[in-house]
Chains A and B, each alone.
Chain A
Amino acid sequence: MAYKLDIAPALPDAQNEEVGASKFCPGCGHGMVLKSLAFAIDDLGIKQKTVFGVDIGCCLLAWNYLDVDTVQNHHGRTTPVIYGVTRANPEAIGIAYMGDGGGLAIGAQHLVNAAVRGERMLIVLVNNTNYGMTGGQMAPTTLPGQVTETTPYGRDCDATGRPAKGAEMIAAIANPEKSYVARATISNMRKLRSTFKKALETVDKGGFAFVEVLSVCPLNWRTNNVDTWARLQQMEEYFEVKEFVSGSEGQNG
C-alpha cells in the first residue's frame, strides 16, 4: 500500500503544487510541455512578471497548472489578449498557450498578424494532429492518411488540403532579426526546455517568439504507450524539428 513519503515530487517552482494531479488525460503531452515551460521560467527567474494566456481546447485545462498570472480567452483569441497585456504593461512577459486548432484554424489570422508586427510575446502552439477536447476530429495539422473521427478513411489531401506547417509559415513572415521561431518535440525534453529558454530570452529582449511543439494524444489516437511514441516519430518525419529563425542573438531588441 501507498504510504506518506518524506520528500515532495520534483516540481518546478513555477508550477502550482496545490492542484495535485493535472486534469489532462493519462499520457497527454500537455503535461510534458507545461513542465518544460515551467522549468524554463524557473531558469530565467521571470515567474513574477509572466502573464500566461490559455486558449479553448485541451489547453484550457492548464488554467491553474502554473503558479503565474493566468487569463483564459475565447477560442483563437489568446494571441491578441496577450499582446494587449504586454503593450499595456511593457514589463510583462506574455505567453500565449494554444493548440493547433486555436493557432492554425480559428486563430490563424491573429497568429499571422502578431508575427508580422513582431509583438513582444511567446506563442506556444501544441500540435497533436487532431482536436482533442471534442473527440479527435480532423485538424489543419492532421497527417495525410491519418484516421480521425471526421476522416474515417484517412485524410484525403485532394479534398482537404495538405497539413498546415505553422513554424515554416511564421518563419517566412517574422522579422529575422528580432524573432525566434522553432519547432520542438516532447520526445526530447532537454531540448524542449532549452528551446523555451531561448524563446523567453528573446521575448525578454523585446522580440517575438513562436515555438511549435509536437505532442501526443493517446486517447484520441487510440494508441497504447509504444504506438504513441511510434506515431510521434512519424510526425517528426513530416514536421521538421529545428530552429527556423534565431535572429535575436547579439541584438538588444
Chain B
Amino acid sequence: MATMEYQGYKIENIAKGKMDYYVYTELCKGCGLCLAKCPINAKGEKCLSWSKEVGIYQTPAVEPDPALCIGCGTCALICPDSAIRLEKKA
C-alpha cells in the first residue's frame, strides 16, 4: 500500500504535557460534533474551540486549549472521519 502523507497541525503538550493532539485538515469537515461532546469542567469551560485553520470544505477545524484539555479522547472517538488523533508522548 502506498504510504500516505497527511496535512494538518499539531498541538503539543495537552493533558498536563503528557500528550500531543493531531488534527488532519484533509479529513476534518467542520461538523462540530466533537465540540458538542467535549466535556465541561467544574467551571463550565470546554477545552475545544473553533480554530483559525480550515478543514477540507474550508470550514473551521477545531483546536484544544492545552491548559484545559485532559486528553479524554472523546473527540477522537466520535469523529466520523478520524480527523483527530491523541498520542501519548514517548
Contacts and interface: CB of A to CB of B under 8 A. Distances in A.
A binds B: yes
B4 interface: yes
Interface string A23-48: 01111111110010000000000000
Given A26-B30, A229-B33, A229-B36, A7 B85 contact: yes
Given A18-B2, A24-B80, A225 B33 contact: yes
A30 B35 CA distance: 19
B3 to A, nearest CB: 9
Contacts of B27: 9, 20-21
Contacts of B57: 26
Given A225-B32, A226-B36, A8 B4 contact: yes
Nearest to B53: A2
B31 A5 contact: no
Most buried by B among A8, A29, A229: A8
Interface residues on B, range: 35 or more
Contact of B33 (A7, A9, A27): A27
A2 B81 contact: no
Interface string B25-64: 1110111110111000000000000000100110100000
A225 B35 contact: yes
A205 to B, nearest CB: 29
Contact of A21 (B22, B36, B81): B81
Contacts, number: 91
Contact of A4 (B2, B7, B87): B7
A161 B57 CA distance: 39
A30 B80 CA distance: 7
A89 interface: no
B36 A11 contact: no
B78 A32 contact: yes
A206 interface: no
Interface residues of A, number: 35
B52 to A, nearest CB: 10
Interface string B5-33: 11111100000000000101111011111
Contacts of A4: 5-7
B32 A21 contact: no
Contacts of B78: 32, 186, 189
Q: Which 10 A-B pairs have the closest CB atoms?
A: A31-B80, A27-B31, A225-B32, A26-B29, A26-B31, A225-B36, A2-B25, A2-B7, A9-B82, A5-B8
